[in-house]
């Protein structure tokens, strides 16, 4: 019995040693930086051109070993909130002034990781073909978020419809209008709703992505629009603490590729301008 017990103990000890050795040999070596390289990213966009372009970026990124999940939003607040909460890795929908204002107002640390495209904002109307035809006392639409509202007011000024206080720039509000010869009444709405509200106003300022989503061509249908030298370039944004993630740079490189540039030029015919 003692021999049998000794033999059994020896066999169990040998099996244990073999298992331990086998486990050590099969374990994958740890990456040099202590963490596995990220192979997928979740990117928030607004519907329309941003979504279409990111889906093309997704195709290019796939060839570089990066999987992209595209999450679509219908406003300009949720994509930054989701990014700040960690529900997104990156978002692609906003201009630099909009980002600066959001960070200031919400005490967030969202940062630019790459410039993308420019979407000229335009004035649209289902009632008038020219700016000059807008009637005295007419109700006109503008965006209600601070950055796009200021941008819209500058667009109305460029169209010769109003004059703003000097130097207000990206902080302009209707209270800064010092000349309004047509006595226009400014109605503030969510940016996404303006294109659907054209029948209820004389004219409205509409962001390109929402205009195109509603079936309007900025190049053909806008009665007045920003020029190609607009300072409102769009950007890819990440949380500051993650900005140097190699996977994020891979997404930026995929976005700024020749394949995506060609897609933008052919698909949008000048309504969306590559800015790299």
Are 126 and 210 in the same domain?
A: yes
Are 136 and 192 in the same domain?
A: yes
Gap between the Cα atoms of 184 and 62, Å rounded: 50
Are 196 and 243 in the same domain?
A: no
Residue 14 falls inside a structural domain: no
Q: Which CATH number belongs to the domain containing residue 150 in this structure?
A: 3.40.190.10
Indicate the DSSP class of residue 109: -
Do 46 and 94 meet the contact criterion of CB atoms below 8 Å apart?
A: no
Overall average pLDDT of the 203-213 stretch: 93
Residue where one domain finishes, among candidates 225, 244, 266: 225
Residue 89 falls inside a structural domain: yes
Residue 173 falls inside a structural domain: yes
Which range of residues forms the domain containing residue 145? 122-225
Are 55 and 94 in the same domain?
A: yes
Are 112 and 237 in the same domain?
A: yes
Overall average pLDDT of the 200-217 stretch: 93
Q: Which of 113, 94, 57, 75 has its CA nearest to residue 234?
A: 94
The per-residue pLDDT for range 39-50, each reduced to its tens digit, is 999 999 999 899
Residue 19 falls inside a structural domain: no
Are 89 and 175 in the same domain?
A: no
Gap between the Cα atoms of 252 and 43, Å rounded: 12
Are 106 and 240 in the same domain?
A: yes
The predicted pLDDT at position 247 comes to 98
Do 274 and 265 meet the contact criterion of CB atoms below 8 Å apart?
A: yes
Are 219 and 245 in the same domain?
A: no
Do 64 and 253 meet the contact criterion of CB atoms below 8 Å apart?
A: yes
Residue 161 falls inside a structural domain: yes
Structure tokens at 272: 């969306």
Are 140 and 207 in the same domain?
A: yes
Are 113 and 127 in the same domain?
A: no
Gap between the Cα atoms of 119 and 98, Å rounded: 14
Give me the number of domains the chain comprises: 2
Are 115 and 148 in the same domain?
A: no
The per-residue pLDDT for range 103-155, each reduced to its tens digit, is 999 999 999 999 999 988 999 999 999 999 999 999 999 999 988 999 999 99
pTM of this structure: 0.71
Do 90 and 44 meet the contact criterion of CB atoms below 8 Å apart?
A: yes
Are 248 and 156 in the same domain?
A: no
Beta bridge partners of 204: 124, 141
Beta bridge partners of 118: 233, 273
Query: What Cα–Cα distance (Å) separates residue 197 from each residue in 97, 190, 204, 211?
Result: 25, 10, 8, 11
């Amino acid at each position: 019995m003692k021999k049998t017990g000794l033999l059994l103990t020896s066999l169990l000890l040998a099996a244990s040693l073999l298992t331990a050795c086998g486990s050590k040999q099969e374990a994958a070596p740890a990456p040099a930086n202590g963490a596995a390289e990220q192979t997928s990213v979740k990117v928030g966009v607004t519907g329309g051109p941003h979504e279409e372009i990111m889906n093309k970026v997704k195709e290019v990124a796939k060839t570089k070993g990066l999987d992209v999940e595209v999450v679509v939003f219908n406003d300009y607040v949720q994509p930054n909130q989701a990014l700040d909460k960690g529900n997104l890795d990156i978002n692609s929908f906003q201009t630099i002034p909009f980002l600066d204002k959001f960070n200031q107002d919400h005490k967030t640390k969202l940062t630019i990781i790459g410039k993308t495209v420019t979407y000229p904002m335009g004035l649209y109307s289902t009632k008038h073909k020219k700016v000059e035809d807008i009637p005295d006392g007419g109700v006109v639409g503008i965006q209600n978020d601070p950055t796009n509202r200021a941008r819209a007011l500058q667009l109305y000024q460029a169209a010769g419809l109003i004059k703003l206080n000097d130097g207000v720039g990206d902080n302009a509000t209707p209270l800064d209008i010092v000349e309004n010869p047509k006595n226009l009444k400014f109605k503030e709405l969510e940016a996404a709703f303006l294109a659907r509200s054209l029948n209820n106003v004389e004219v409205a300022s509409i962001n390109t992505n929402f205009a195109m989503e509603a079936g309007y061509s900025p190049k053909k249908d806008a009665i007045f629009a920003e020029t190609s030298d607009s300072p409102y370039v769009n950007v890819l944004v990440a949380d500051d603490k993650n900005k140097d993630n190699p996977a994020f740079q891979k997404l930026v490189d995929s976005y700024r590729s020749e394949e995506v540039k060609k897609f933008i030029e052919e698909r949008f015919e000048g309504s969306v301008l590559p800015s790299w």
